[in-house]
Every structure is written in structure tokens, then in C-alpha cells.
């Protein structure tokens, strides 16, 4: 699992966060300097303490959360929600009260990890469904073209499967190959 990036400058807060993460055997890295947006993909969660100095910090957090680059946990000694009005209900964002950090931070990390894992599973499942739908559309198109040439639907289906097996390619690629041949014949 990817590391958690902790961005803070306050020494005492850093010690508390390090102690909590170490006690839970959570792999993390500490950062006291600004980070590049491209570096966010190296981490699973970003923990930002209010002591971390970054120009336009609230805008940085809001953009990262809205674009779903990385889940962010904002640790603050006071419950400051005004800068985060637009993202308060976003699942990629949480505020942890520094006074309650011992109880809230580990739970929040667990919840965000579970959410991220479930989201990745859903995205993968969605991609599979979209690919299946594209294949079905292409199969129908290819069958229709073959049926216009006089084949039955079953014969067209068998021809697509045979093309895929003979060329050791997917049904999708077989349909594209058949349609490409038909388009070239139509042009000639």
C-alpha cells in the first residue's frame, strides 16, 4: 500500500502524528516543504496540519479534493470550516480536531483507505461494464454488416468468433478487422 504523506511544520504536532501512525504500523513520509501536484500520485492519503505553510493552501486542498487526486485529512486545533465550505461533504476530505487526534486520526485514515479501495473497485467494475457495452455495440454493428451480405445472425456470430480464434485476437478486435475489410471493399 502507498505511503501517507504528512505535511506539517509544528514540531509537537509532528511528534504526535508520527507516534500515532507508527503505533498503527502505517507507512508514512514527513514533508515540511511545498509539494508538486504530480507527487500526489505517490501517496494514498495526504495529512495536512494547519502549521504547514503553503501559498493558497485552501485552494490547493479544494482542487485536490474536487479533482479526486488524493484524499486529504486536515488537522486543525480549531474547527475551521469556512475555507472548506465547497468540499465539506466530499468523501475525499475530512477535518480532524487536533485535541481529539488520538481517537479521530486513525479512524479517519481507516475510513478513507476503505473508501478509496471501494472506489477503485467500482471504477474497475464500471470500466469493465463500459468495455462490455462497447463490445456488444460493435458486435451488433459487425453482425448487421455481415447479415447485409446474406449471412444469418448465427452465421455472422460464428464468423466473428472464428476470426478471433484464428487470429488469436479478442472479439472486439475481430469485429474491427472485419469492419475494416468491409470498408476497404466499399471504397474500392
Q: What is the pLDDT of residues 60-116, one digit of tens each?
A: 899 888 888 789 999 998 777 788 988 988 889 999 999 999 999 999 999 999 988
> In whole angstroms, what separates CA 105 from the centre of its chain?
22
Contact 135, 171 (CB under 8 A): yes
Which of 123, 150, 165 lies at the terminal end of a domain, its last residue? 123
Pair 85, 137 in one domain: no
CATH number of the CATH domain containing 154: 1.10.10
Q: Are residues 21 and 86 in the same domain?
A: yes
Residues 131-147, mean pLDDT to the nearest whole number: 94
Range among 30-34, 35-39, 159-163, 182-186 with highest mean pLDDT value: 159-163
Beta-sheet strand order (sheet of 43-49): 28-31, 3-7, 43-49, 72-76, 93-97
Q: Residue 170 is part of which domain span?
A: 127-187
Domain identity same for 77 and 144: no
Report the chain's mean pLDDT, rounded to a whole number.
Answer: 90
Q: Within this chain, do residues 109 and 28 fall inside the same structural domain, yes or no?
A: yes
Amino acid at each position: 500500500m502507498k505511503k501517507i504523506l504528512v505535511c506539517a511544520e509544528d514540531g509537537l504536532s509532528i511528534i504526535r502524528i508520527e507516534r500515532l501512525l507508527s503505533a498503527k504500523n502505517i507507512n508514512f513520509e514527513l514533508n515540511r516543504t511545498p509539494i508538486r501536484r504530480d507527487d500526489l500520485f505517490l501517496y494514498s492519503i495526504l495529512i495536512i496540519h494547519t502549521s504547514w505553510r503553503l501559498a493558497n493552501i485552501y485552494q490547493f486542498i479544494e482542487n485536490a479534493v474536487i479533482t479526486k487526486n488524493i484524499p486529504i485529512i486536515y488537522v486543525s486545533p480549531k474547527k475551521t470550516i469556512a475555507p472548506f465550505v465547497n468540499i465539506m461533504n466530499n468523501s475525499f476530505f475530512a477535518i480532524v480536531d487536533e485535541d481529539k487526534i488520538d481517537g479521530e486520526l486513525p479512524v479517519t485514515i481507516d475510513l478513507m483507505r476503505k473508501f478509496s479501495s471501494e472506489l477503485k473497485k467500482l471504477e474497475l467494475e464500471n470500466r469493465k461494464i463500459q468495455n462490455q457495452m462497447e463490445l456488444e455495440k460493435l458486435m451488433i454493428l459487425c453482425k448487421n454488416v455481415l447479415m447485409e451480405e446474406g449471412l444469418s445472425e448465427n452465421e455472422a456470430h460464428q464468423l466473428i468468433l472464428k476470426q478471433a480464434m484464428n487470429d488469436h485476437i479478442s472479439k472486439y478486435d475481430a469485429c474491427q478487422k472485419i469492419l475494416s475489410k468491409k470498408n476497404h471493399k466499399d471504397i474500392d
